[in-house]
Amino acid sequence: MTIEEKQQEIIDEFNIYDDWMEKYEYIIELGKDLPIIDPDKLTDDRLIEGCQSRVWLDAEVKDGKMQFSADSDAIITKGIIGLLIRVMNDETPETVAKTDLHFIKDIGLQEHLSPTRANGLASMVKKMKMAAIQATINK
Amino acid sequence: MSEGTKRPFSVREIREEFPALRQLIYNKNLIYFDNGATSQKPKIVLDAINMYYSKDNANIHRGVHFMSQKATTEYEASRITIQKYINAKKSEEIIFTKGTTDGINLVAYSFGELLSAGDEIIITAMEHHSNIVPWQMLCQRKGLKLRVVPINKKGELIMSEYDNMLNSKTKLVAVTHISNTLGTINPVKEMGAKAHAVGAKILVDGAQSIQHMSIDVKDMDCDFFVFSGHKVFGPTGIGVLYGKEAILDSMPPYQGGGDMISKVTFERTTYNELPFKFEAGTPHIAGGICLGKAFEFLSSLDMVAIQKYEKELAEYAQDMLDTFEGCRIIGEAKNKTSVVSFVMEGIHPFDIGTLLDKQGIAVRTGHHCTQPLMDFFGIPGTVRASFAFYNTREEVDKFIEAVEKSINMLK
Ligand SMILES: Cc1ncc(COP(=O)(O)O)c(C=O)c1O
């Protein structure tokens, strides 16, 4: 599946919900289901301090593909992280660096990615892209 | 307090005067419980803003023409309305500022100029960052010592510690009248009397009290009282610093510019009298005039009945929240009002806030600009519902239902 197809898949999944609370119910389930980072990776150097919720991000390159894992102390943030990782993982650094994550806007969650939102997600996306750019330089 | 007949308090009638309360958010009737952050505006204020810019707009204190004189008259009339409302001796003691933060910075800079190394300033553990950082900056600038009155687990000041801290080196006590995070009402009159006994002055941060109780600066006998217009049903960008005339007179100007001077030559400038000495440049004229309207509105209300109503509303909300398993109320002072802060075990405040938002309920989550207080309670933040007199018991019921729904989703 291409990164664009992955984004489209998520948009389709969210299209069946017409109520905000249902959307969030789904995001919360995603957040609960996901053990997205090794507990021993919850270290301060991986911590992105948002004003409200905190986010930890780890980025690796395996076989030429980006592998992200992340966590948050807030479950909604964690659910959205799950979506971001689903889209960005197993993609080449070049793809990650240049992809426009339009699905967030399309499913109505752009408020969570605004730089003033202070939940650490905007910084996390930036860090994901920076890690990808670093990986292309290191090649 | 200003005279005149007060209308009997009716929440139904009052709500009619706040158009912003009648709107749908995500298709739900808005429930606005973020009054600690800012209040909604009554029609009298909205109409005045419209009127000012559509008809009366002119610069003040400098024009010979009709419009300028009218704007000046209204601006100065507003100063008198506010003076009377808080029972200040003279209108010269009412300085227009940008808000609470601006007022505190003015005092920290200007009154601070009168202090010298070794002097001490006392604040408390429950201050807003606005009433911490300006004093830290002053202490660094002048080599002063900042002392902090601790609180107990209920969120009340430990007064014996305050008594111990006061000494002949104490020059200023800066304390919040009501905590924006805990709702605690501090004994500012008693604290002022004690400060005066050692020759210190007291600044009261009234950002959270002016909208909830009647304020009488003469009775309180505070030296400075600061508040923001936007939290007291007026516009943003305008606020008030009240200061006792003799003290303001002894203080150097804060900012230089037009309006604050009496005569300027390149060799020497003499400063204008109070209050203009502290009001450099074209002020927020519309803000000043419309803040006066907010106080006219407040003057027509029975603040004693309102204070009782708001206290009951907050207590009702708190009692209902207390029935939830794992709910911890942050701030259980005996004397508190209008604010209920809470955390739910195992649930992040941000998650609850996000789900309440989607149910049309505006609350605030996070540290509320009181990080040291959060550290004291060992929490990252709280969910805070803060009430105004236009909120209702039915809204509290819906809020409780929405909290319950959110908890069930998040558990
Ligand atoms: C107790 C207290 N002090 C100061 C402030 C700062 O007010 P402003 O941002 O309007 O200057 C606030 C506002 O949140 C407050 O609640």
CB-hemisphere CA count at 13 Å for A5?
A: 3
Q: Which residues of B touch A73 (CB under 8 A)?
A: 348, 380
Question: What HEC string does chain B produce?
Answer: CCCCCCCCCCHHHHHHCCHHHCCEECCEECEECECCCCCCCCHHHHHHHHHHHHHHCCCCCCCCCHHHHHHHHHHHHHHHHHHHHHCCCCHHHEEEECCHHHHHHHHHHHCHHHCCCCCEEEEECCCCHHHCHHHHHHHHHHCCEEEEECECCCCCECHHHHHHHCCCCEEEEEEECECCCCCEECCHHHHHHHHHHCCCEEEEECCCCCCCCCCCHHHHCCCEEEEEHHHHCCCCCCEEEEECHHHHHHCCCCCCCCCCEEEECCCCEEECCCCHHHCCCCCCHHHHHHHHHHHHHHHCCCHHHHHHHHHHHHHHHHHHHHCCCCEEEECCCCCECCEEEEEECCECHHHHHHHHHHCCEECEEECCCCHHHHHHHCCCCEEEEECCCCCCHHHHHHHHHHHHHHHHHHC
User: Which DSSP string corresponds to A122-139?
Assistant: HHHHHHHHHHHHHHHHH-
Ordered per-residue pLDDT tens for chain A, 139 residues: 999 999 999 999 999 998 999 999 999 999 988 767 888 988 888 888 776 788 899 999 999 999 999 999 899 999 999 999 999 999 999 999 999 999 999 998 888 877 766 667 888 889 899 999 999 998 7
Which residues, 6+ apart, have CB-to-CB distance to B127 below 8 Å? B174, B175, B176, B205, B370, B372
Q: Which of B139, B222, B327, B369 is catalytic?
A: B369
Q: What are the residues whose beta carbons fall under 8 Å from the beta carbon of B136, sequence distance 6 or more?
A: B146
pLDDT of B255 higher than 50 = yes
Nearest atom within ligand 1 for CA of residue B98: 11
Q: Do A52 and B355 touch (CB under 8 A)?
A: no
Q: Which of B34, B102, B128 to mutate to test the pocket of ligand 1 (most atoms within 8 A of CB)?
A: B128
| Partner residue facing A52 (CB), from B358, B366, B405 | B366
Closest ligand 1 atom, residue B101 Cα: 11
Among the atoms of ligand 1, which is closest to the Cα of residue B369?
Answer: 14
CATH number (3.40.50.720, 3.30.1490.20, 3.30.413.10, 3.40.640.10) of B46-299 reads 3.40.640.10
**Is the Cβ pair B348, A73 closer than 8 Å?**
yes
**Atom 9, ligand 1: which residue's CA is nearest?**
B101
Residue B344's DSSP bridge partners are: B327, B347
Cross-chain CB nearest to B381 (options A52, A76, A77): A52
**Residue ranges of chain B assigned to CATH 3.40.640.10:** 46-299
The confidence score (pLDDT) of residue B1 equals: 43
Whole-Å CA distances, B201 to B99, B245, B276: 21, 13, 22
Residue pLDDT, tens place only, B338-365: 999 999 999 999 999 999 999 999 999 9
Interchain pair A75, B381: CB under 8 A: no
pLDDT in tens, B273-316: 999 999 999 999 999 999 999 999 999 999 999 999 999 999 99
Distance between Cα B276 and ligand 1 center (Å): 24
Contact assignment for B26 to A20 by CB distance below 8 Å: yes
What residue numbers bound the domain in which A23 lies? Answer: 3-138
Contacts of B350 in chain A (CB under 8 A): 52-53, 74, 76-77, 119
Nearest CA in chain A to B402: A21
Which atom of ligand 1 lies nearest, measured to the CA of B180? Answer: 16
Q: Which residue has the higher pLDDT, B259 or B396?
A: B396
Which CATH number does the domain housing residue A13 bear?
3.90.1010.10
Report B:261-300 residues touching A (Cβ under 8 A): none
What is the rounded CA–CA span in Å between residue A66 and residue A72?
Answer: 20
The Cα-based distances of B331 to B131, B312, B328, B339, B354 in angstroms read: 19, 16, 9, 9, 22
| CA contacts within 13 A on the Cβ side of B243 | 23
| Separation in Å, CA B332 to CA B325, B337, B376, B382 | 17, 10, 14, 14
| pTM of the predicted structure, to 2 decimals | 0.94
User: In the CATH scheme, what is the homologous superfamily, with its name and number, of domain B11-37+302-410?
Assistant: Aspartate Aminotransferase, domain 1 (3.90.1150.10)
Find the CB nearest B351 among A51, A75, A118: A75
B343: β partners: B328
Q: How far apart are CA B76 and CA A82, in angstroms?
A: 58
Minimal CA separation from B26 to chain A, in Å:
8
The answer, yes or no, to whether any atom of ligand 1 lies below 6 A from the CB of B134, is no
For the segment B200-214, what is each residue's pLDDT rounded down to a tens digit? 999 999 999 999 999
Look up tokens 């509105």; give the residue: B297
| Sequence ranges of chain B with CATH classification 3.90.1150.10 | 11-37+302-410
**Which pLDDT tens digit goes with each residue over B119-145?**
999 999 999 999 999 999 999 999 999
* Interface membership of A116 toward B (CB under 8 Å): no
Smallest CA–CA distance, residue A133 to chain B, in Å, is 31
> Which residues 13-32 of A have a C-beta within 8 angstroms of B?
20-21, 24-25, 28
Distance from the alpha carbon of residue B28 to the mean position of ligand 1, in angstroms: 29
Length of chain A: 139
Residues of A involved in catalysis: 51
Looking at residue B9, its pLDDT comes to 94
Contact residues on chain A for B411, CB-CB shorter than 8 A: none
Tally of domains in chain A: 1
Predicted pLDDT of residue B2: 44
A50 to chain B, minimum CA–CA distance in Å? Answer: 10
ipTM: 0.89
Q: State residue B379's pLDDT score.
A: 93
Q: In chain B, which residues have their Cβ closer than 8 Å to the Cβ of A28?
A: 351, 409-410
C-alpha–C-alpha distance, residues B370 and B342, integer Å: 15
Phi, psi of B392, rounded to the nearest 5 degrees: -125, 165
| CA atoms within a 13 Å half-sphere pointing along the CA-CB vector of B230 | 14
pLDDT tens profile B173-193: 999 999 999 999 999 999 999
DSSP β-ladder status, B120-124 and B145-149: parallel
Distance B241 CA to ligand 1 centre (A): 13
Determine whether the interchain pair B410/A75 forms a contact, defined as Cβ–Cβ distance below 8 Å: yes
Cβ–Cβ of B350/A24 closer than 8 Å? no
C-alpha of residue B130 to centroid of ligand 1, in Å: 6
